[in-house]
Amino acid sequence: MALFQKYFAALFLAALLPDSASLVERLRKIPNVRVMEIGRTGLEKPMYAALIGKPGAGATYRWEQFTPEESGKVLARAEVLAATPSRMVTVLIPCTNPDGLDLLAKWQRQNLGSRYEGAPYPGLLQKYSDEPDDVMQNRIESRNLAALKRQFGIEPALAPVRYFIPDSPLVMDLLQRFAANGAKILRAGDSKGYLVQGGTRLVEMQIPALMGAETKRYEGVFAGEPVSDFGSGFSLPVAPQTNQPRIGVYEPWLNNPDTGWTEWLLDAYKLPYTAIHNEDFRKDDLDELFETVILSSQPPASIMHGDRAVIQRPEYAGGITLDGAAHLEHFVKRGGTLVALGEAISLPVEQFGLPVRLFPLKTDFGQLTPNGANTVTAVTTGGYAIEGGRATATLADGRAGVTVVDWGKGHVVLFGIRPQYRGQTFATFPLMLHAIIPGAERALR
């Protein structure tokens, strides 16, 4: 029996994910493999690539990459490539998310042999989000990988489709994304705008529209001055530095990427905030700590009760509970501002009894007209049209996409849209900032 237990214990240990440092150290020991640092991660850890083959003039390069969950396959794959003669050089990324790998490896070892062995990691596995970001490249890891691909000429073939993009306030941010996706960009000589060849994925994802830009198919002569300097690639106006509220962002003990993108937006605007968790709703003192609390898009049942379908460690199980929802309402009635996004708006509507009606939206995109401003394209995935309150932005059907409900001495701002969705929706960022800082929308428009 003891031998049987030892055998299965050895199997469990063999199945554990390595941490990023030990993975790279073992990779270095494989003959014909050269490991190089390619940048830092969102949590300031080194990020690596391995070259397998004979790099140099005339070499042809190919790309392979592994996620944290696939990291157990890396060493075997590297050994096969290193032992197989080839004219091609493989650029192998042992882990596209070293931060996530280290979090998962530590979590696995913490739970090994307990009833929580299969419990999901209680949070984000990467700073902001581990969702695909290769098109927008808002995360530093995405930019590291894109720069490495350019260094070795591993880029997609230039698509024949061409576009004309007129000047707009955020055009350089948009063009930087086109360039990062391998597009060729020229300054149009006879008009105020740019000619772009390639970058069809951006257009298919409606990124230009979400960034407040117009894109037209172009069939004329593709000629003009090449553009290569796009500034920082992130030229959002600075948020007003006066009257900044104390902001609390709800972080569930779940992997909720929308929370990460809320924090990404606040960091981009250099707005300080505090992460708050389920236990912070236990006491009825939110109004002493914050002026604004943000609930990112998340099903209300998940916010209230957590994920009931999994076995989780007690300190990470559950949600804010009914008492926490009551304390959140007290926070508003005492003068606080609650900003709820997407799916989360159902929580204050149901728990507070707000005098509004919600109608689920069945499209991913919609036209939104903020009060006193031009119509923009908004992400409506998982969102709602709203009847009631004071509409600050209206959908094409005349119902509100964003509305404010006065509640006691405070306010609830309901976003039926996704104003910060994956860091793509530049055109609706000002609405989010206005909800947090009164007057910010006008300053950022």
Is 55 contained in some domain? yes
Cα 156–Cα 93–Cα 137 angle in degrees, nearest 5: 55
Which residues lie closer than 8 Å to 47 by C-beta, 6 or more apart? Answer: 37, 38, 39, 40, 41, 98, 141, 144
Which of 317, 330, 323 minimizes the C-alpha distance to 282? 323
The CA distances from residue 442 to 63, 309, 371, 437, in Å, are: 46, 44, 11, 11
Of 128, 151, 174, the domain-final residue: 151
Spell out the SS3 assignment of 132-157: CCCCCCCCHHHHHHHHHHHHCCCCCC
Number of continuous H segments (helices) and E segments (strands) in the chain: 15, 20
Determine the Cα–Cα distance for residues 146 and 18; give it in Å rounded to an integer: 25
Which of 183, 205, 177, 213 minimizes the C-alpha distance to 196? 183
Domain count, the chain: 3
Determine the Cα–Cα distance for residues 67 and 232; give it in Å rounded to an integer: 28
Determine the Cα–Cα distance for residues 386 and 401; give it in Å rounded to an integer: 6
Is 374 contained in some domain? yes
Q: Are residues 56 and 135 in the same domain?
A: yes
Q: Are 369 and 347 in contact (CB under 8 A)?
A: no
Of 95, 119, 151, the domain-final residue: 151
Per-residue pLDDT of the chain (445 residues; tens, 9 = 90+): 343 333 333 334 446 899 999 999 999 999 999 999 999 999 999 999 999 998 877 789 999 999 999 999 999 999 999 999 888 999 999 999 999 999 999 999 999 999 999 999 999 999 999 998 989 999 999 999 999 998 998 877 777 899 999 988 888 889 988 988 889 999 987 778 999 999 899 999 999 999 999 999 999 889 889 988 877 655 565 666 667 899 999 999 999 999 999 999 999 888 999 999 999 999 999 999 999 999 999 999 999 999 887 899 999 999 999 999 999 999 999 999 999 999 999 999 999 999 999 999 999 999 999 998 899 999 999 999 999 999 999 999 999 999 999 999 999 999 999 999 999 999 999 899 999 986 554 444 4
CATH number at residue 105: 3.40.630.10
Is 241 contained in some domain? no
Q: What is the pLDDT of residues 260-299, one digit of tens each?
A: 999 999 998 889 999 999 999 999 999 999 999 999 999 9
Which residues lie closer than 8 Å to 330 by C-beta, 6 or more apart? Answer: 284, 286, 287
Beta bridge partners of 369: 394
Helix locations, 57-128, DSSP H: 74-83, 98-111
Q: Give me 247's structure tokens.
A: 């902001």
For the beta sheet containing 193-197, the strands, ordered from the edge strand earlier in sequence to the opposite edge, are 216-217, 162-166, 193-197, 184-188, 224-226
Is 233 contained in some domain? no
Determine the Cα–Cα distance for residues 419 and 429; give it in Å rounded to an integer: 6
Q: Are residues 102 and 168 in the same domain?
A: no
Determine the Cα–Cα distance for residues 193 and 212; give it in Å rounded to an integer: 14
The CA distances from residue 179 to 154, 311, 375, 425, in Å, are: 14, 45, 27, 19
Q: Are residues 197 and 252 in the same domain?
A: no
Q: Are residues 78 and 142 in the same domain?
A: yes
Is 2 contained in some domain? no
Q: Are residues 384 and 258 in the same domain?
A: yes
The sign of the dihedral angle between the CA atoms of 103, 104, 107, 109 is negative
Q: Is 321 helix (H, G, I), strand (E, B) or coil?
A: helix
Q: Are residues 253 and 194 in the same domain?
A: no
Domain of residue 167 covers 162-226
Q: What is the pLDDT of residues 145-154, one digit of tens each?
A: 999 998 998 8
